[in-house]
Amino acid sequence: MGRMHKAISISNQPNSPNTLGIKKYLQPKGFAKDDFEKKLLDFIILTDQPFTITESESFQGFALYNRPSEIKSLPCAKTIKAKLLQLYDLEKVNVAKKVERCSRKNIDYNGLLDFAHSGKLLAESLVKFFEDYQILGKISTITTDNASNNITMMKELESIMSEKGNHSDVESLDDSSSDENQFDSDVNSSGEDEASSSNTLSIYERVRKSISMIRRSSYFRQSFYEACEIKKVKHKQLVLDNQVRWNTGYFMLTRLMEMREPYKSLLRSEKQLSSFQLEEHEWDLISEMITFLKPFYEMTLHLSKAKQPSMTLSAAIYMELYKHLESYNSRSNLPKEMMVAAKAACEKLNKYYPESDGLVYILGLLLDPRCKLEWYKSVGIDTQTIRKNKRTALEFWDEFYKPSHESVNNAEDKLVDDGDILSSQMKRKRMSKPDEFRTYLSMPPVEKVVNNDILQWWKDHEQSFPVLASMARDFLAASGTGVPIERVFSFGPDLLSPKRLSMQVETVRKSFCLKAWRKTALVTYKQNKMIAVAKIMAGSRD
C-alpha cells in the first residue's frame, strides 16, 4: 500500500501534512446497543431466521459472547416481530420517495395475496398498491406473464382507473420469456410426433426416460459414476428437463453430450436401459438440436439481466431469432424433425412479434443512444414503418413530456425583471432552443456506451436533454420480461422454512419486501463505499 498509494501512510504518524495517517481509518467503533439490534434484525431478515432464534440458549451464548455487561439478553420473538414491522414502515417511506422521483411509473408486480388470484381481485389489489404509494394515474407499463387472469386483470384495471377519474394509457407487456418453457415443450413434442409417425421411438423421449430412470435409481447412479471413472470423464449428474423451467431441454441435451461415453457404456451394460440406446445418426441429431436451441438460451440470458434495460433488446432479439430460424429453411440436408421444430419455433415467435410495435418497445429503441432510428434501417425495416414509429414516439413526447410554451414563459418571467432589455433578449434566445427529442434523433447514434449502461449515459447527458432524460428513465426502466421480479420471488421457499410456517400473511408480505429492500440497500452501500475508498486512495480529501 505504501508503494502504490503514497497519499496514505502505513504508520500512525503522517510523513507530511499532505499525507493521511492510516490510524484515521482504523479507529475501532465503540459498542452501541441500537446498532447491535439493527444488525441482529438485518441478520434475521436476510437469512430467513425464525423470530424465536433470539430465545435459543445456544444463539444467545454466541451473540452475547464478550459483550458489555449492560447487554444481558436479546430481544424476544415478539419484540423482533414488532421491530420488523416498524422497520418495514420506515423502509416503505424510503421506497415511496424513490418511486416518486420518476414522472411515470412501470412495475413488475408479483403480489402476495391471501385470496383467489382472479383477474378482478388482482386488479383491485394493484389499485390498492398504487393508491398506497400515491402513484395511481402515473403508471405507464405493467409487465406480466400471459396467464388468462392477467389479461382479465388489465381490462378490470382499465375500468377501475377510469371510474376513479384516471385516464388509463397503461401498456401491458406480455412476458414472452415466461412462455419459453412451453416453447421448449412445443419444439420437443414436434420432433416426437414426427418420430412416432415413422413407427420409431422418439429420440427425445428415449433420452428423457433413460435419464429419469438413472436419476431415480441409486444403483444406476453408482453405475454411472463408475462408468465415468472407467472412461476417465469427470463425473457430472445427468440433467432432466422440466416443463416449468426455461431452457431445461437445452441443458439436458448439452449435459448428455458432455457425458456421452459413460452414458453409452451404462446403457450397453444394463439390460433395463438397453432399449434406450442411440445410433450414431441419432447422436448427430441431438447435436443438431443443441445447435438449434443454443441461440434461445443465449437470448434468454440477455433478457434476464436485472441491472440493464432489457426493453431495447426485445426487438433485436426477435430479429436474431428469426434470422437463426430462417437459416434452417435454406438447408435441404436437415432431418425432417428439425424442420418441424423450426416451424414450431416460428409459430411461437409470430404469436408475440406483432406486440413489439407497441409504444414502450418503440421508445425503448429510440431512447437507446446506440440505436435511435438507425437500428430500423440496419435490420431492413421498411421506410413506412420507420416513419410510423417515429411519428408515434414524437406524438407521445409532444403530449406528455415536451414543455409547453406557457410553462417556459412562466419560468422565464420569474428570472426577468421589467425593463431589463439584456435579459429579455437572452430570454428570446433561450426560447428559440430546438426541441430536445427532435434534436436527439437528428444526432448520429453513439458507437459505444460504457459497460452497456444506457441509463448512466442518460444521467451523464442530463444537462443537455433534461426533460428527455426524464422520459428515458421512465421507459428504459420498463422490464422486457418478468425475470428480475421472478428472481426476487424465487427465495419464497427460503422465507417460509419449516420453522416459519406459523407466520401470518401480512408478516410474510412485509418480511418478503424487507428482505428485497435490505439486499438492494446493502449492494448500494457496498458500491458507494468502494467509490469513496477509491477516491481517498487517489488522494481526494472529499
Write the CA distances from 181 to 16, 296, 311, 376, integer angstroms.
Answer: 65, 11, 21, 30
Q: Is residue 20 part of a domain?
A: no
Q: Which residue has the cell 428485497?
A: 516
Looking at the fold, whether 193 and 326 belong to one and the same domain comes out as yes
pLDDT beyond 50 at 228: yes
| Cα 112 from Cα 104, distance rounded (Å) | 24
Q: Is residue 287 part of a domain?
A: yes
Looking at the fold, whether 301 and 419 belong to one and the same domain comes out as no
- Confidence class for position 115, pLDDT limits 50, 70, 90: low
The pLDDT, as a whole number, for residue 429 is 53
Q: Is residue 138 part of a domain?
A: yes
Q: What is the torsional sign of CA 296, 298, 300, 303?
A: negative
Number of CB atoms found within 10 A of residue 38's CB: 13
Q: Is residue 7 part of a domain?
A: no
Rounded mean pLDDT, 173-194 = 49
Looking at the fold, whether 396 and 458 belong to one and the same domain comes out as yes
pLDDT beyond 70 at 369: yes
- Asked which of 431, 454, 476 is the last residue of a domain, the reply is 476
Of 497, 488, 542, 475, the closest CA to residue 519 belongs to 488
More confidently predicted of 14 and 102: 102
Q: Is residue 495 part of a domain?
A: no
Number of CB atoms found within 10 A of residue 80's CB: 23
Residue 365, class by beta-carbon neighbours within 10 Å (0-12 exposed, 13-18 middle, 19+ buried)? buried
| Cα 21 from Cα 35, distance rounded (Å) | 27
- Three cell numbers written together for 338: 428439425
**Is 504 within 8 Å of 112 (Cβ atoms)?**
no
Show the CA angle centred on residue 62, arms to residues 56 and 68, nearest 5°: 110
Looking at the fold, whether 210 and 348 belong to one and the same domain comes out as yes
DSSP character string of 229-289:
HHTT----PPP---TTSTTHHHHHHHHHHHTHHHHHHHHHH-GGGGGG---HHHHHHHHHH
- Three cell numbers written together for 268: 450397453
The radius of gyration of the chain from alpha carbons, rounded to an integer in Å, stands at: 30
Looking at the fold, whether 91 and 118 belong to one and the same domain comes out as no
Rounded mean pLDDT, 245-265 = 94
**Distant-in-sequence, close-in-space partners of 331: CB < 8 Å, separation ≥ 6:** none
Question: According to the per-residue pLDDT averaged within each range, which of 144-153, 270-279, 488-497 is highest?
Answer: 270-279
- Confidence class for position 312, pLDDT limits 50, 70, 90: confident
Provide the residue count of the chain: 542
Lowest-confidence range among 51-65, 146-160, 184-198, 304-318? 184-198
Of 285, 367, 274, the closest CA to residue 333 belongs to 285
Q: Is residue 22 part of a domain?
A: no
Show the CA angle centred on residue 101, arms to residues 312 and 96, nearest 5°: 110
Lowest-confidence range among 12-16, 287-291, 332-336, 358-362? 12-16
The pLDDT, as a whole number, for residue 301 is 85
Looking at the fold, whether 294 and 195 belong to one and the same domain comes out as yes
More confidently predicted of 177 and 361: 361
**Is 118 within 8 Å of 151 (Cβ atoms)?**
no
Looking at the fold, whether 160 and 189 belong to one and the same domain comes out as no
Q: Which residue has the cell 447527458?
A: 461
Looking at the fold, whether 332 and 254 belong to one and the same domain comes out as yes
The three-class DSSP label of residue 308 is coil
Q: Is residue 46 part of a domain?
A: yes
- Confidence class for position 539, pLDDT limits 50, 70, 90: low
Residue 82 lies in domain: 31-97+507-537
Element (H, E) at 414: none
Looking at the fold, whether 530 and 418 belong to one and the same domain comes out as no
DSSP 9: E
Looking at the fold, whether 520 and 468 belong to one and the same domain comes out as no
Q: Is residue 24 part of a domain?
A: no
Mean pLDDT of the chain: 79
Total domains in the chain come to: 4
More confidently predicted of 212 and 506: 212
Tally: H helices and E strands in the chain: 25, 5
Output b/e per residue, 294-326; b: 16+ Cβ within 10 A: ebbbebbebbbbeeebbbbbbbbbbbbbbebbe
DSSP character string of 139-156:
EEEEEE---HHHHHHHHH
Backbone angles phi and psi of 169, in degrees to 5: -120, 30
Backbone angles phi and psi of 38, in degrees to 5: -65, -40
Looking at the fold, whether 164 and 242 belong to one and the same domain comes out as no
Looking at the fold, whether 169 and 187 belong to one and the same domain comes out as no
Rounded mean pLDDT, 58-83 = 88
